[in-house]
Amino acid sequence: MFSTTRAFLLFLLTASLLPTRFAFAEGTRTWEQSKFDDLSKGTANGVAIRSAGGLELAPSFKPVFATPSTYIWSIAADAAGTLYAASGAPARIYRVTPDGSAAIIFEAKELQVQSIVAAKNGALYAATTPDGKVYKIERKAGAPNSAKSPGSADATLPTDPNWTATVFFNPGTRYAWDLALDASGNLFVATGDHGEIFRVTSTGQHSLFFKSDEAHIRKLVFDAKGNLIAGSDGSGLIYRITPSGEAFVLYSAAKREITALAVDEKGNIYAAGAGEKRGAAPQFGGTFGGTTVSPTTSPISGPTTGGQPTITIGGPASPLPPPQFPFPGVGATGGSEIYRIAPDGSPLRIWSSREDIVYALAFDQQGRLLAGTGNHGHVFAIQTGTDGAGTGGEYSDLLKAAATQVTAFAPAPNGGLYAATSNLGKLFSLGSAPMSEGTYESDVFDAHIFSRWGRAEIRSVGNVELFARGGNVDNPDRDWSPWKRVDPKNSIDAPAARFLQWRAVLHTGTVAPRVESVLVNYLPKNVAPEVDDVGVQIGVRYQSLPKSPNTDIPSSNASGQPQQRFEQPVPIIRDPDSIGVKWSAHDDNDDQLSYSLYYRGDGESRWLILKDNLTDKFYSFEASLLPDDGYTFKVVASDAPSHAPGDALTDEKESARVEIDTTPPRIENLSASSEANGELHVTFRAIDAFSPIKHAEYSLDAGDWQFIEPVGKLSDARAEDYDFRIAVPSNERAASGSTVNKKNAPTSAGPIEHVVVVRVYDRYDNLGTAKFVVRGR
């Protein structure tokens, strides 16, 4: 029997020097970007990313005004294109003219101006939260238009004295969430606490229009037939309420809260839902952009610090005047979904995102549904038609605002839209026509190895220019090569390096520009493979597995990077007559590798080949092929299968020294004799040719094995002497000349014989045995 360290031996390998010759890895590799997931990692400026893949020009998106408020919850525009923005932190209404002149026309005592609508007569209605009230804001008769030079948010923005505000309706609830005007000028107010909708006439007469069993009615919109469409928070219900107040639940969304509603010309209802449903009442808390709202014990009473509600905006908590209220969409987890409810009532989910929360819906001039989202400030354009499978249409990541959330839309002149954002509170103009020029910069491509760049293949239509640059650090701002225009007929004009980036510039023209895909050919420099560790196991045999046809064919992922081959665990069979050598190795070029296994005995200088041209990372052989000795094994890995002769590179690694001992120890001069006192005196010598004697045992007359010590007690040499006595049971000694019924005793008178068997183990558990028969006197 033999043994060695029973676990694999793992060693670190120092990097080998690359040869001076510039050899390249097997074949040209490619890096292609065309899919949405890949393109969305890049940076778009005036360029939309299509869900089906590819790039196209986005509509113009220009800043109009940056308010001093953190949040803009709602916006409305009049026929002249003047924009009104309802905000929070601080709670104000801003009036912004088309040229960007701005002024404050209303400042609320409440914390937020949550919703605003513009009546045909020029009056504005604004809902505040908490302690919800509805204000009517009007220009004083004969008052001139006030103006403020365009600019950013600042503390000197004046309050326009030509506007007055009065409480138009007090619903007696803490939350006034949304407002909607019908064709007759009646105002409908969606409230929280009790899920009520109130109708208020133009003269201020009010009545309860609808009472829900939900805690909050969040959103309101009218359809073409005059029905009020309402969305709730709690169970994510979408109601259709007739002018007479008869309600019907059109849909119970998979999400907790309906955050936005819109109705198209065909009568389709679009609703955005967010937040996971729970069995209990919703807990308002979470993160709204840079604002952290602590969870509350109820949707009414806010968290407190020393009795005061707190809100954290990018820093430590600070007290605010009570009471605090839940933000729409705050605490939503699991992203958002958008549903379409057809005129016949059939619902369909047409869009979803695991990360983006939808805060606003609107339609552009092309009839696409626009979704304003957070918390990355994106606007998505969704094709609302259905395909043959009945699923939602394609969509585009249209643009990214310079803010965390896009929270509201309103019609703008010439078919465009106004957009509002929160964190920070800004206003933008979203045009109906595409920009004249847009740029897109790809994500930085890491070839992982110093590479030479070949041609770039671009599939595009219209006027599109392609540029590229490269470098050897992952940050392009750290001394990369300059942008160079790419000629599709020639290699990329960038130095050989590890990293590469491309930029597409789309120009408007008679044919709308579009980029379908960009593919870059590159050739990595060949680097030597690396043998990571070599382990030797005594007494095991590895069993080969059948290989799949594509096991040795390199493959690349969507980013052009070579994928690692899947290696199944190697089955191990316990076999005392075998030795198993196993190693791990890798090649940064993902080249196919072959291996050679060598061995060398103690005191020898020459490596001897044990097996050549191996493709597996293991090898087993019969232990008897090698004499007892100490050995070191070496694995040499070569990438020759992937390269022409003379271009291959190798690496090697040695195992730790192991000892192989397959020869059992010898037992010499075994002798045993009976003494006068009836004991047996036994002596013998144990000798092993390679390793020390580990221990010895004896058995008397097939009895249990008993441990024996060598002369001198310590067993640490290849030869050990043993001298010991065995006490014979007294009943066996008395049995001489008589008949007894005892084991090993004679059944009739006569001499007594004993059989002494000894066995000896060396350090590697090889076993030697011998026996001696003691004749009775």
Q: Where are the domains of the chain?
A: 29-43+438-524, 62-296+314-434, 531-659, 666-774
Query: Is there a contact between 481 and 536 (Cβ–Cβ < 8 Å)?
Result: no
> Is 44 within 8 Å of 58 (Cβ atoms)?
yes
Distance CA 113, CA 111 (A): 7
pLDDT at 328: 53
Helix, strand, coil % in the chain, rounded to nearest 5 = 0, 50, 45
Q: Which residues pair with 102 in a beta bridge?
A: 96
Residue the block writes with tokens 């010590």: 709
In this predicted structure, what is the pLDDT of residue 462?
96
CATH class of 62-296+314-434: mainly beta
User: Side chain identity at 497, as an amino acid letter?
Assistant: A
Distances, alpha carbon 400 to alpha carbons 291, 349, 481, 767, in Å:
20, 24, 28, 78
Q: Residue 69 corresponds to which amino acid?
A: S
- Cα gap 664→683, rounded to integer Å: 19
**pLDDT recorded at residue 208:** 96
Q: Residue 627: what pLDDT?
A: 92
Dihedral sign for Cα 573, 576, 581, 584, please: positive
The answer, as to whether pTM is greater than 0.85, is no
pLDDT at 777: 61
Assign domain 666-774 one CATH number from 2.60.40.10, 3.30.450.20, 2.40.128.20, 2.40.128.110.
2.60.40.10
Mean of pLDDT over the chain = 84
**Which tokens hold the place of 45?**
């400026």
Measured CA to CA, the distance from residue 375 to residue 620 in angstroms comes to 58
Residue 713 makes CB contacts below 8 A (sequence gap 6+) with none
Phi, psi of 415 (to 5 degrees): 80, 5
Task: Specify the pLDDT at position 307.
Answer: 33
Q: How far is 571 from 568, CA to CA, in rounded Å?
A: 9
Structure-block tokens of residue 60: 């113009």
State the pLDDT at residue 589. Answer: 85
Tokens of 339: 């549903």
Contacts of 286 (CB under 8 A, 6+ apart): 292, 293, 295, 330, 331, 332, 333
Instruction: Determine how β-strand 426-434 pairs with β-strand 59-66.
Output: antiparallel
CA nearest to 596, candidates 529, 663, 693: 529
Torsion of CA 609, 611, 612, 618, to 10 degrees: -130
According to CATH, what is the number of the domain 29-43+438-524? 2.60.120
Query: For residue 684, how far is the Cα from the chain centroid?
Result: 70
The pLDDT, as a whole number, for residue 326 is 47
Q: Which residues of the chain have pLDDT under 50?
A: 1-25, 149-154, 280-326, 329-331, 386-391, 550-555, 558-559, 734-749
For residue 337, give the 3-state DSSP assignment.
Answer: strand
Place of tokens 């690349």: 556
Judge whether 29-43+438-524 and 62-296+314-434 match in fold.
Answer: no
pLDDT the model gives residue 647 = 85
Distance between CA atoms of residues 514 and 520, nearest Å = 18
Instruction: Give the up-direction half-sphere exposure of residue 56: CA atoms within 13 A in the CB hemisphere.
Output: 16
Would you say the C-alpha torsion 484, 488, 494, 498 has a positive or negative sign?
A: positive
Q: How far apart are CA 173 and CA 170, in angstroms?
A: 8
Exposed e or buried b per residue across 88-108, where buried means at least 16 C-beta atoms within 10 angstroms of its C-beta: bbbbbbbbbbeebbbbbbbeb
Please give the Cα distance from 25 to 21 (Å, whole number).
Answer: 12
pLDDT digits (tens, 9 = 90+) for 702-720: 999 999 999 999 999 999 9
**CATH homologous superfamily for the domain 531-659:** Immunoglobulins (2.60.40.10)
DSSP structural state of residue 755: E
Closest CA to 48 of 328, 370, 276, 323: 370
Q: Do the beta carbons of residue 219 and residue 177 sit within 8 Å?
A: yes
- Reported as type and span, the H/E element at residue 36 is helix 36-39
Compute φ and ψ for 255, nearest 5 degrees.
Answer: -100, 160
